[in-house]
A and B are shown apart, each in its own frame.
Chain A
Amino acid sequence: MARIGVVVFPGSNCEYDAANAVSALGADTAFVWHSESDLSGFDGIILPGGFAHGDYLRPGALARFSPVMTAVQRFAESGGPVLGICNGFQVLTEAGLLPGALQKNRGLTFLCQPSTLIVTSTRSVLTRSATVGQRLAVPINHFSGSYTCDDTIYDELVANDQIVVRYDENPNGSRDNIAGVSNAAGNVVGLMPHPERAMSTLLGSADGRVLLGSFLGLGAESLA
């Protein structure tokens, strides 16, 4: 079974939730402290939500200097699956592993609320077990989640099918309703919504299982 490393910065706060979610799907998990630089033995890496180094400057702006990010870059370059959730997505864009940037929400307030995602590409490790057009109830929880990029990057995202999930109703002003994107190869994905918070109908939705199960390489049939 997949062995997943969950990167922990001092200000991460969703690390337990992310680890619990993929454990519930059968993965082995281990926390990786941000000062470490060895990711050997992992089949996938998750950068969880939170406020990596307090993020008083700009979300993820300092985290990219943590030693672990050099290792994450090597891991990604060798084709390893990397998933950034919320703050993890912000960190991946700051580190240059994903295109674009995340700005403050359009309404200039933090938003914790349900959202409906529409899968728009199945080329990525996060969506390979989903179907295009599939609607997933996955909550958002962020202040800086408005995805932005210039026209050149946007055209590339569209041309390469890198827009992985979009919001059904745009909550934060993201360009073209973008909720998550992948790199060109599809092995590095970031999204603002929290699939680990949608693992059980007791908590409102189990649709996150499709995304995280996909990340673990589980087929759609095993996630039903």
Chain B
Amino acid sequence: MSTTEPLHRALGLTDSEFDDIIAVLGREPNHVELALYGVMWSEHCSYKSSRVHLKRLPSKGDHVLVGPGEGAGVIDAGDGIGVAIRIESHNHPSAIEPYQGAATGVGGILRDVFSMGARPLAVMDPLFFGELNDARQRWLVEGVVSGVSGYGNSVGVPTVGGELTFDQCYASNPLVNVLAVGALPTDRLVLGVASGVGNYAVLLGSRTGRDGIGGVSVLASAGFDGADGAESLDDAKRPSVQVGDPYEEKRLIEACLELLDNKLVVGIQDLGGAGIVCALSETAAKGGVGLDVDYTAIPLRETGMQPWEIMTSESQERMLAIITPENWEAVAALCAKWEVRATIVGHVGEPDVLPDGSTVGMLRVRKGFGGEIVAEVPASSLADEAPLYHRPLARPANLDEINADDPATEPSGDANAQLLELLICPSWVYRQYDSQLFLNTVVGPGRDGSLLRLGGPGLPESSRGIGLTTDSNPRWCALNPRVGTAYTVFEAAANLACVGAAPKALVNCLNFGNPTHPEVMWQLSESVDGMTEACLALGIPVVGGNVSLYNESGGNDIDPTPVVGLLGVVDSLTTPPPGWKWRDGDSIVLVGGRHAIGDVAFPLSGSRWATKRGRRGGQLGDVNVATVRDTLRFVTEEIATICAGHQSDITAVHDIGGGGLGVAIGEMVGTSRLGAVVSNIAGRDECFAEFPGRFVVATSDAASLLARAGAAGVPTEVIGTVGGDRYRLGDVIDLDVNVVADSRRDNLPTQLLAN
């Protein structure tokens, strides 16, 4: 930072934003006020570049209790139980300090969930790194995974799934997204609103330190400059990374849920990005009230902190509760039991009356209650009135050239070796996560979707289940962000279908590059449109999301990486759904549209196979959306029937996702250590092609399955038979079963342990 640079620029505000602030206040802001605007008007907090696009997403549904804009989306899952879901990124902190970055990502999202009154019951973590032939990437993977493990296991929330993607575009800018789900009796639902003049604002949890100051503006809302990415910025930006304390968070969760159960709080809000100023201004703005805050009352963990540092620190494991004065003693006693610090830091007051008779809730930061005012701004101007940007959009100039390639021209190599390379079991990662706490996990990590019983401490009895999945496909989205994103939604629904869960709500984490690049904004806009189209086709509301921009380094943006988290419900869950293990003699049936429609029957563009060959271009195949929808519904209902305890001829099911048909069958062969002969296959392209809406189903009665599918208008073909000790796929693949299984098991640990 140069000494002549104006303060507002050093805080991440543009000149025109500075002028906006002067217009709001009718005067120049002081230093403290400027710091408050700097964090609250950051891209991360205000969504100022993306909000105009996000409005297009469908968010309505009869079962939606809380839509976008609150701590978490909440749906009515039945039996008096609400399910809260939220996804967030912690990309830049994890690039700089992988353990703490990932750990605090978990902590932050859990607070979003229990701030709604929901007990956090499950976490999922989609992770994106560069290729593992680089020691730095291996260091990042180990750090991030141990951070999720160290925090999540200790805080007592199971990690039930996720995703693992390796691609060169993430080498300098890894992505660490975290999804959390919680559940609550629907009558305990609370929103972060301050109301009731005279009420207290109480800060719960950790003391405030200098960790994470400017995290949202310095870290999350700017790219990495150097060609070597994070490395060159380690020292400069590490103080902006927060440090996590899962034991503090665990006690904070229990204390907050007990406060809510005992009806001791009026409103509650988490402290995340932008710290206490964010929580205070949002609760005051929603309640339309004023808040007087004594910054000297805030417990500190170090001396000499300035008011602006105290107000914007992102120290972890803190919550803000609004309580009535008469409940203070009970709140203090309950918090003491859980060894959670509770401090009155603010008073709710009347809004100011303006000359025109309208009212505005002012946030006043004082030195002592009733003391000197060090900042005085309308709360809503911080929380809701950041500028909205209609940034320019431009289709990337080189996209035509990229789309003109056709990976099908790639010469055939050793298809057996190519397939083995694509078989990667992520168990090295997920066995480090407690995936079973709360005795709900029917299907845990490592399968298509995860499936949990809908239960937990304090919830009404239910025999329902919830399905969960996170999905993304940057390879598809790089070729066509609109279609690629729509296909990603279909893929997520296919994963839920495999565990019998009908999709009910979607959350998204939109990881994109620098929004000042028109190509990035075009990708974002297209992606939102594709998500909208797919959600409308499947009838899924979007109940929340997160946008992570500035994922770039050295001027290179990551490939567009919209991650979707999908929540589904199984109405009756008494029996585990079939998995990937099939039985000797089963028929192997391909369910769904076998070919892409249009010119190319088996598109290799955007496939993992083509990417491995360095062929990153081409065009995505077209699919018949009605057929995809009918196929998803058919498989969902077939599997839900099994979950409800009914007999079925279906013995195994797997959706055809990344890697294509060859990989899907390879995973079933490897899991079962039982071979397959697939004779009805068009050759290499069908083995590796990727497009949505297809499943591999093993059945003991193919005629019956084909008849049921036919009645539902869903295409099917018998393609092979289970048995033997070889995996044969036409004249493309011929492998020993144990080679398939061992290679799949060992691929990831072998690469991670390479020196």
Chain A interface (Cβ < 8 Å from any Cβ of B): 10-11, 13-14, 16-17, 20-21, 33, 50-51, 53-56, 109-113, 139, 141, 143, 194, 196-197, 199-204
Contacts and interface: CB of A to CB of B under 8 A. Distances in A.
A51 B250 CA distance: 10
B271 to A, nearest CB: 20
A16 B247 contact: no
Contact of B431 (A14, A51, A112, A196): A112
B246 A54 contact: yes
A202 B576 contact: yes
Given A54-B154, A111-B432, A112-B431, A13 B437 contact: yes
A13 B432 contact: no
B247 A112 contact: no
Interface in B237-255: 245-247, 250-251, 254
B585 to A, nearest CB: 24
A50 B575 CA distance: 28
Contacts of B195: none
B433 A110 contact: yes
Interface in B416-468: 430-439, 441-442, 453, 456-457
A143 B337 CA distance: 28
Interface in B127-177: 146, 149-150, 153-156
Contact of B149 (A33, A51, A110, A196): A110
Contact of A139 (B150, B156, B246, B436): B436
Contact of A109 (B146, B435, B453, B576): B146
A11 B575 contact: no
Contacts of A13: 155-156, 250, 437
A179 B193 CA distance: 50
B450 to A, nearest CB: 13
A203 B435 CA distance: 12
Nearest to B158: A112
B247 A53 contact: yes
A15 to B, nearest CB: 9
B324 interface: no
Contacts of B456: 16
B433 A203 contact: no
Interface string B651-693: 0000000000000000000000000000000000000000000
Nearest to B437: A13
Nearest to A13: B156
A11 B453 contact: no
B573 interface: yes
Contacts of A202: 442, 453, 573-576
Interface of B: 146, 149-150, 153-156, 245-247, 250-251, 254, 337-339, 430-439, 441-442, 453, 456-457, 573-576
Nearest to A52: B247
A55 B573 CA distance: 36
A50 B156 contact: yes
Contacts of A204: 576
A155 to B, nearest CB: 34
B500 to A, nearest CB: 13
A199 B441 CA distance: 12
A197 B254 CA distance: 22
A56 B435 contact: no
Contacts of B436: 112, 139, 141, 194, 197, 203
Nearest to A14: B437
Contacts of B435: 112
A203 B437 CA distance: 11
Point out which of B153, B155, B442, B573 has the most chain A C-beta atoms below 10 A from its C-beta. B153
A56 B243 CA distance: 14
Contact of B432 (A10, A16, A112, A196): A112
Interface of B is mostly: mixed
B439 A197 contact: yes
Nearest to A21: B439
A129 B431 CA distance: 31
Contacts of B254: 10
A33 B251 CA distance: 13
A92 to B, nearest CB: 20
10 contacts: A10-B254, A14-B437, A20-B439, A51-B154, A109-B432, A112-B431, A113-B431, A194-B436, A203-B436, A204-B576
A170 B573 CA distance: 34
A110 B251 contact: no
A20 B437 CA distance: 12
Contacts of A141: 153, 434, 436-437
A16 B457 contact: yes
A202 to B, nearest CB: 6
A56 B247 contact: yes
Nearest to A50: B156
A97 to B, nearest CB: 24
A132 B439 CA distance: 28
A51 B439 CA distance: 18
A192 to B, nearest CB: 13
B339 A17 contact: no
A207 B644 CA distance: 23
A54 B441 CA distance: 24
Nearest to A12: B156
Contacts of B339: 10
B431 A199 contact: no
Nearest to A201: B576
A202 B453 CA distance: 9
A17 B437 CA distance: 8
Nearest to B149: A110
A194 to B, nearest CB: 8
B432 A110 contact: yes
Contacts of B433: 110, 112
Contacts of A113: 431
Contacts of A51: 153-154, 246-247, 250
Contacts of A20: 439
Given A11-B250, A112-B434, A113-B431, A199 B439 contact: yes
Given A10-B339, A109-B432, A141-B434, A196 B439 contact: yes
Point out which of A53, A109, A110, A203 has the most chain B C-beta atoms below 10 A from its C-beta. A110
A111 B442 CA distance: 18
A203 B442 contact: yes
A19 to B, nearest CB: 9
Nearest to B436: A197
A21 B153 CA distance: 20
Contacts of A143: 153
Contacts of A203: 436, 439, 441-442
Given A11-B251, A20-B439, A197-B436, 8 more contacts: A10-B250, A13-B250, A17-B437, A54-B250, A112-B431, A143-B153, A202-B573, A202-B574
A51 B247 CA distance: 8
B154 A16 contact: no
Nearest to B445: A112
7 interchain residue pairs of minimum CB distance: A54-B247, A13-B156, A110-B432, A16-B457, A51-B154, A113-B431, A110-B149
A143 B434 CA distance: 10
